């Protein structure tokens, strides 16, 4: 299992759910979900097995060794079975900020979207605020997922701004570290 040098704790758990450093064995499920859910991702082409293997071998595998990686990725598990993945991306170590990224298995998204997002947010906030002592985390999401905005509101994220972009609106929700001065 990968271990992030920048984290003094690698696993975060709530009941039977946990996040662990992203597992190599989950890469093809992740690829499948990304390809199925491209409509709301910043992904412009269908990923192939070769693309996914290359990304995991040349990018993901090197992240744990870095003092300040640009992303920290986790497999989201239920009873040790991967049902999603996510983490903190576009990390700015100087400003202590990061963007939340999270993707659920396409099959589970319809019935468990809110439950899994709220669980993931609780765990990723522990990583960001308690372990990394970040000042703020945020989401950057196309205006296509009304269920997401309900979850963010329930988890006390504030709508910081809306970006108008050609035919899309991008909503940025932010949460500040409650322990920061």
Residue 114 lies in a domain: yes
Q: Which CATH number covers residue 110?
A: 3.40.630.30
**Residue 125: pLDDT above 90?**
yes
Residue 117 lies in a domain: yes
More confident site: 47 or 33: 33
Query: 86-120 b/e with 16+ CB inside 10 Å = b?
Result: bbbeebeeeebbbbbbbbbbeeebeebbeebbebb
Residue 57 lies in a domain: yes
Q: How many domains does the chain have?
A: 1
Residue 43 lies in a domain: yes
45 Rama class: left (phi>0) / alpha (psi -120 to 50) / beta:
beta
The whole-number pLDDT of residue 166 equals 72
More confident site: 166 or 133: 133
The whole-number pLDDT of residue 164 equals 85
Q: Residue 63 belongs to what domain range?
A: 12-133
Residue 161 lies in a domain: no
Sequence-separated (6 or more) residues with CB below 8 Å from residue 116: 17, 76, 83, 84, 104, 108
Residue 1 lies in a domain: no
Residue 174 lies in a domain: no
Mean pLDDT within 130-159: 89
pLDDT tens digits, residue range 45-76?
A: 998 999 999 999 999 999 999 999 999 999 99
Mean pLDDT within 155-172: 85
The whole-number pLDDT of residue 16 equals 97
Residue 155 structure tokens: 């988890």
Mean pLDDT within 92-107: 96
Residue 171 structure tokens: 């909503």
The whole-number pLDDT of residue 168 equals 74
The whole-number pLDDT of residue 181 equals 54
How many residues does the structure list for the chain? Answer: 181
CA distance 124 to 19: 8
Residue 82 lies in a domain: yes
């Amino acid at each position: 299992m990968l271990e992030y040098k920048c984290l003094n704790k690698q696993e975060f758990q709530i009941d039977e759910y946990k996040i662990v450093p992203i597992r190599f064995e989950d890469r093809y499920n992740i690829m499948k979900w990304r390809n199925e859910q491209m409509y709301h991702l910043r992904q412009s082409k269908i990923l192939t097995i070769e693309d996914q293997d290359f990304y995991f071998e040349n990018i993901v595998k090197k992240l744990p060794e870095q003092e300040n990686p640009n992303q920290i990725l986790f497999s989201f598990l239920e009873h040790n079975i991967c049902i999603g993945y996510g983490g903190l991306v576009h990390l700015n170590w100087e400003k202590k900020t990061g963007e939340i990224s999270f993707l659920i298995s396409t099959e589970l998204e319809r019935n468990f979207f809110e439950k899994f997002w709220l669980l993931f947010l609780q765990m990723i906030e522990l990583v960001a605020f308690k372990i990394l002592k970040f000042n703020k985390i945020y989401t950057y999401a196309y205006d296509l997922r009304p269920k997401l905005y309900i979850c963010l509101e329930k988890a006390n994220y504030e709508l910081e701004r809306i970006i108008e972009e050609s035919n899309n609106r991008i909503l940025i929700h932010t949460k500040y570290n409650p322990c920061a001065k």
